[in-house]
Amino acid sequence: MFGVHHIPFRVDTNDISVQVIPGDAFSTYTRTSPGEKVTKQLGYREGKVIINPVEPVNLPKEVTGMLEFHFLPVTLSPGSTITLYLKFPVEIGVFVGDDENYTLIDVFSRAPAKYSLYGTPEKGFITRHVESEVYDSAPSSNPLEEGVMTLSIKNSSRDWIEVSRAVFDVSMMRLFYGNTAVMIGEMEIISRLIAITRISGTPPGDGMSTALRVYPTRKSLIPEKLFFMMEYGVGD
């Protein structure tokens, strides 16, 4: 399903169907997925449609721009670095246009959205909440339902630190896809309360495509961030 499609087309994968059928003056876009059917009119009869995994913070509506992973505690010694793997729910975006000039026409997911609060009620952040097991190697996944984050965690403090959460800002998210959807995250722990998170924009390997992003289509005046500073702790 993921990739570039040329009008007219139809793709069916399991219980998801996406098609664009041209008419005399315009085309009709139809997407059918569990419990939902969406139909839209497109003002052209030919062109490209790109379908790929997108930042998993768009549904059921734009509630937050933060993604929070919560996982079983991992203990790091002072100065140590580990790499672990987490799963996240996939949202699927449908775009029209090309790599330089595109717009989002649909986004959907097979995973229900959950939200939580990172920090205090007064100054904290609403986050898209993801509970994940911790894997020591890349787990298998269904790319239409879940992706895999490779997370490198460095403990730059002088203390033993227990980590059970990581928070990322949507403006720095980059996804890649092939046989699965992938994000590459970095987390540097400064103390039990403070950590810096980043997401790499470099593809993890040959054969992986860079996904178009929803964030640039929002025309936001908020600049993209190079990192996010977690200031409310790295554990429960």
In a domain, 19, yes or no: no
Domain tally, the chain? 1
How many CA atoms within 13 Å lie on the side-chain side of 164? Answer: 8
C-alpha 202/C-alpha 215 separation (Å) is 18
In a domain, 111, yes or no: yes
In a domain, 218, yes or no: yes
C-alpha 197/C-alpha 203 separation (Å) is 18
In a domain, 158, yes or no: yes
CB atoms within 10 A of CB 70: 17
pLDDT tens-digit series, residues 69-85:
999 999 999 999 999 99
For the record, the structure tokens of 73 come out as 């505690």
The widest CA-to-CA distance across the chain, in whole angstroms, is 69
Domain that holds residue 178: 52-230
- pLDDT one digit per residue (tens) for the chain, 236 residues: 999 999 999 999 989 999 999 998 899 999 999 889 999 999 888 889 999 999 999 888 878 889 999 999 999 999 999 999 999 999 999 999 866 788 899 999 988 889 999 999 999 999 999 999 999 999 999 989 999 999 999 999 999 999 999 999 988 899 999 989 999 999 999 999 999 999 998 888 778 999 999 987 765 555 667 899 999 999 98
199-218 as b/e, with b when 16 or more CB fall inside 10 Å? beeebeeeebeebbbbbebe
108-121 as b/e, with b when 16 or more CB fall inside 10 Å? bbbeebeebebeee
Please give the sequence-ordered ranges of beta strands (E in DSSP) within 110-219, or none if there are none: 115-118, 125-132, 146-155, 161-169, 176-177, 181-189, 195-199, 209-210
For the record, the structure tokens of 143 come out as 């790319």
Note if the pTM is more than 0.75. Answer: yes
pLDDT tens-digit series, residues 13-39:
989 999 999 998 899 999 999 889 999
How many CA atoms within 13 Å lie on the side-chain side of 157? Answer: 20
In a domain, 219, yes or no: yes
C-alpha 59/C-alpha 190 separation (Å) is 32
In a domain, 100, yes or no: yes
In a domain, 84, yes or no: yes
In a domain, 13, yes or no: no
For the record, the structure tokens of 171 come out as 């403006």
